[in-house]
Amino acid sequence: MNRTHGHHTVHEAPGKKADGEGPGVHAAHRIEDFKKRFLACLILTVPVLVLSPQIQGFLGVRPLLGDRADLLVLFLLSSVIYFYGGSPFLKGLVHEARRLQPAMMTLIGIAISVAYVYSAAVVFGLPGMDFFWELATLIDVMLLGHWLEMRSVERAAGALEELVKLMPSLAGRVREDGSIEDVPVESLKKEDRVLVRPGEKVPIDGVVVEGRTTVDESMLTGESRPVQKDEGSQVIGGMINGESAVTIQVTRTGEDTYLSQVILMVRRAQESKSRVQALSDRAAYWLTLVSLSVGGGTLAVWLILGQDFVFALARMVTVMVITCPHALGLAVPLVVAVSATLAAGNGLLISDRAAFERGRDIDAVVFDKTGTLTQGRFAVTDVLPESGWEPDDVLHIAASLESHSEHPIARAIIDEAGRRGLKLAGPQDFRIIPGRGAQARLDGRMIRVVSPGYLEEKGYEAGRGLMDAVSAEGRTTVFVIADERVIGALQLADTVRPESGEALSSLKGMGLKVMMLTGDSLPAAKRVADELALDEYFAEVLPHEKAQKIRDIQAQGMRVAMVGDGVNDAPALAVADLGVAIGAGTDVAVESGDVVLVRSDPRDVYSILKLARASYSKMLQNLFWATGYNVIAIPLAAGVLAPLGFVLPPAAGALAMSISTVIVAINAQLLWRMKAQISP
CA 88 – CA 507 distance, rounded (Å): 43
3-state secondary structure 426-479: CCEEEEEECCCEEEEEECCEEEEEECHHHHHHHCCCCCHHHHHHHHHCCCEEEE
552-564 as b/e, with b when 16 or more CB fall inside 10 Å?
ebbeeebbbbbbb
Q: Give the C-alpha distances (Å, rounded to integers) separating 550 from 71, 373, 537.
A: 63, 18, 12
Contact 146, 154 (CB under 8 A): no
CA-CA distance, 498 to 517, in Å (whole number)? Answer: 19
**What is the CA 273 to chain-centroid distance, rounded?**
15
The Cα angle at residue 399 between residues 393 and 405, in degrees rounded to 5: 160
Which residues fall within 8 angstroms of residue 491, CB to CB, at 6 or more apart? 380, 381, 382, 383, 384, 470, 475, 476, 477
Please give the helix or strand (H or E) that residue 612 lies within, else none.
helix 603-628
**What is the spatial distance between Cα 32 and Cα 10, in angstroms, rounded to a whole number?**
18
Burial class of residue 474 (count of CB atoms within 10 Å of its CB; 0-12, 13-18, 19+): buried
Residue 437 burial by Cβ neighbours in a 10 Å radius (0-12, 13-18, 19+): buried
Cα–Cα distance for residue pair 59/359, rounded to 1 Å: 47
Show which residues are catalytic: 368
Check: CB of residue 570 under 8 Å from CB of residue 269: no
Rg (the chain; Cα; Å):
34
Q: In terms of Cα–Cα distance, which of 619, 624, 628, 630 is closest to 670?
A: 619
- Give the C-alpha separation, 239 to 167, whole Å: 9
HSE of 503 in the Cβ direction (CA atoms, 13 Å)? 27
- In whole angstroms, give the CA distance from residue 574 to residue 556: 18
